[in-house]
Structure 1
Amino acid sequence: MKKLLASYGRDDEFRAVAEQIILEEEQKNNRVLARTLRKTLDNAQPATPAPRALAPLIPFPDAASDFVERIEPQHNKNDIVLSDENVRVFVDLMHEFRRGDEIRRRGLDVRSKLLFCGPPGCGKTLCAEVFAAELGLPLYVVKIDRLISSYLGETAANIRKIFEFARKQPCVLFLDEFDALARSRDDTSEHNELRRVVNSLLLFIDRIRPKGFMIAATNLDQSLDPAIWRRFDEVIWFDKPDRQMIERFLQLKFKNVALDFDPLAQAGKLEGYSYAEIERVCVQAIKSAVIHRRRTVREQDLRRAIADEVRRRSGRARLKASD
């Protein structure tokens, strides 16, 4: 509190101290107080204009706002279905984060660098959002397309800015499509510049000790450079849901919808589909009832939506075969 009062009038320093107080409250599990303080801090008018798309919390490298965007979580733990194994891992990570100071005092590292792997549509991005919300940390998403530059040497410099930001700002920093940066250096189709980017990336990941979490996600884990894997504290796999998880997901999607049938009877037809595909089926079934001005969703609506998804899949299969 003395530091906070002493820094009054120096906006950057004042916000850095305030953020430290908020982080301490989060680590004490005083989440309601921490969220109230963070909201108050975010809504405060800074003495100098804040960078676009970033909350004015603490100083960060120039032009970081070109590559990072703050996302307000719209979901919570009740909106996601995870395997029991992944639930256990995430609960352990949250406990470890909240006891971070005690762990560090014993000379031990806190796990903070996570790699999410799995096919598209299986919950990697949603999980990062829910994880940030549960921890009470701001979620920042890296704009990979802007990060990768056509100018020689500039991509590595851009990555440095992102990692410097994560080092200073307590947050969940999410890098989707991570394979675009970390592609194997043995890939003969890649040019020397991208190999140098991977070399820099390995060095940055090694050195960073985030105040929150750095999460990288990929659908193409087989394309990652072999040296990437050991740089992460945890590798978490997101697979397509099994029958039990599909049933839980259907219950979740239809929980506030009037039905005249049991959707779980159709769960077997959705095995092998991703969460994104199953969600599209559920939404289409609900829209069918709205279009026909019915108050309830019928089994026929769900059957037709499943048939549409089968048709959609067969079209993609034909495209792959022609390639």
Structure 2
Amino acid sequence: MSASADHLKALLSAHAAGDDDRFYSVALQVAAKSARQGHGRLAAELRELIDTSRAEKISRRPAPTPVVQPRGELASLLTADYPETRLADMTLADETRAALEKVLHEQRQRGRLERFGFTPVHRLLLSGPPGTGKSMTAAALAKELGLPLFTIRLDGLISRFMGETASKLRLVFDAAAQTRAVYLFDEFDALGADRANGNDVGEARRILNSFLLFLDQAPAESLVVAATNHRRLLDGALFRRFDLAIVYGQPSAEQSIEVLQRRLAAMDTSGVAWGCLAALTEQLSHAELVKAAEAAAKRAILGGSDTIDADQLRGALNERHLLRHA
């Protein structure tokens, strides 16, 4: 039996309380446990049932308010999307998941907090190596809250005429005040570099000062998420302005195996001795592990099989290591 007694109790408790989010989260944990135990087909069937049930429930709920695609100058600054990734789909450290669940809880209880004069967490700083889930986190938060994800295009925001950048920043934050959404500043160090940097220029400092001012005034209805691979480059004042700073790291051996198992849930992995692959997952990011799993799966499928063996995974993981050092 893949579900533990604790899982069964949690499922019944969530069902009794009418807490669909908790129910599906536990159900996905059961599917993940099935995958870890080598029951790939069962895990895939459970995920399919969960997705079908979710889709039916969502179809009966009011759809998110349609958001007009950015027009005019905003069209060169923002890209809009409705993501499908959920928090339960991500492999995260326990403390990271707890922090993100806190954000969701406060946002869902925003009205109650505001009645007492408090605002929910709505300004997040995510930092860590590439491929560790920062941008995916913004997508998952948008999906969980039924909001669009607006990604700020820094190539459009940062003008060669640097005096224009502050006015473009104002446009973005004005949009955040008018349209509730998740606003993602990816590769944020391009904007938030330390003002004390000797190579900096006065205009760049003024741009950062403008960002800090706009961030202070950002409405609690929208989430402003800044993601960077280079935390050390950021100006110290930024850390005081964000409500929450989350540091992402490379996955542990156990998390790495979970990433592989999640991506290969539709394949038969019952013959894989996962423990033997742990050493090969070291130093690989979540994104690199996903690519390795996909490479192994495609080789098997194109070879006429739905079965993955350890040698195929070992070869795919070795390829990712070679690419890292190319």
TM-score bracket, normalised by the shorter chain, equals: 0.7 to 0.9
Cα pair 1:182 1:228 within 8 Å, conserved: yes
The one-letter code matched in structure 2 to 1:311 is L
Q: Could you list the runs of 5+ residues in structure 2 that have no partner in the other structure?
A: 1-56
**Is 2:247 aligned against 1:247?**
no
Cα pair 2:87 2:140 within 8 Å, conserved: yes
Instruction: Report how far residue 64 of structure 1 moved.
Output: 1.6
> Matched residues in 2 for 1:174 and 1:264: separation?
36
Aligned residue in 2 for 1:283:
294
The 10-residue stretch of structure 1 (236-245 or 73-82) with the greater mean CA deviation from structure 2:
73-82
Cα pair 1:115 1:217 within 8 Å, conserved: yes
**Is 2:279 aligned against 1:268?**
yes
Q: SS of the residue aligned with 1:36?
A: coil
- 1:116-135 matched pairs, under 5 angstroms: 116-135=126-145
The one-letter code matched in structure 2 to 1:117 is S
- 1:1-323 matched pairs, under 5 angstroms: 32=58, 36-38=62-64, 41=66, 53-54=69-70, 63-259=73-269, 261-262=271-272, 264-265=274-275, 266-315=277-326
CA-to-aligned-CA distance 1:209-255 (integer Å, 9 cap, x gap): 24121101000110011111100000011111112211221221111
Cα pair 1:170 1:210 within 8 Å, conserved: no
> Matched residues in 1 for 2:162 and 2:97: separation?
42
> Matched residues in 2 for 1:110 and 1:34: separation?
28
Question: Of the two structures, which has the highest relative contact order with CA contacts closer than 8 Å and spacing of 6 or more?
Answer: 2
Q: Could you list the runs of 5+ residues in structure 1 that have no partner in the other structure?
A: 1-30, 43-49, 55-60, 316-323
Shift in CA distance, 236/193, structure 1 to aligned 2, threshold 3 Å: same
The one-letter code matched in structure 2 to 1:224 is L
Cα pair 1:113 1:232 within 8 Å, conserved: yes
Shift in CA distance, 201/257, structure 1 to aligned 2, threshold 3 Å: same
Normalising by the residue count of structure 1, what TM-score does the alignment of the two structures yield? 0.78
Q: SS of the residue aligned with 1:65?
A: helix
Instruction: Report how far residue 93 of structure 1 moved.
Output: 1.4
> Matched residues in 2 for 1:195 and 1:169: separation?
28
The one-letter code matched in structure 2 to 1:162 is V
Instruction: Report how far residue 191 of structure 1 moved.
Output: 2.1
> Matched residues in 2 for 1:275 and 1:231: separation?
29
Q: SS of the residue aligned with 2:325?
A: helix
Shift in CA distance, 181/70, structure 1 to aligned 2, threshold 3 Å: same
> Matched residues in 1 for 2:140 and 2:119: separation?
24
The one-letter code matched in structure 2 to 1:129 is A
Q: SS of the residue aligned with 2:125?
A: strand
Q: SS of the residue aligned with 1:249?
A: helix
The 10-residue stretch of structure 1 (230-239 or 187-196) with the greater mean CA deviation from structure 2:
187-196
Q: SS of the residue aligned with 2:183?
A: strand
Shift in CA distance, 75/152, structure 1 to aligned 2, threshold 3 Å: closer
The 10-residue stretch of structure 1 (181-190 or 155-164) with the greater mean CA deviation from structure 2:
181-190
Instruction: Report how far residue 298 of structure 1 moved.
Output: 2.3
> Matched residues in 2 for 1:162 and 1:63: separation?
10
Q: SS of the residue aligned with 2:284?
A: coil
Cα pair 2:124 2:224 within 8 Å, conserved: yes
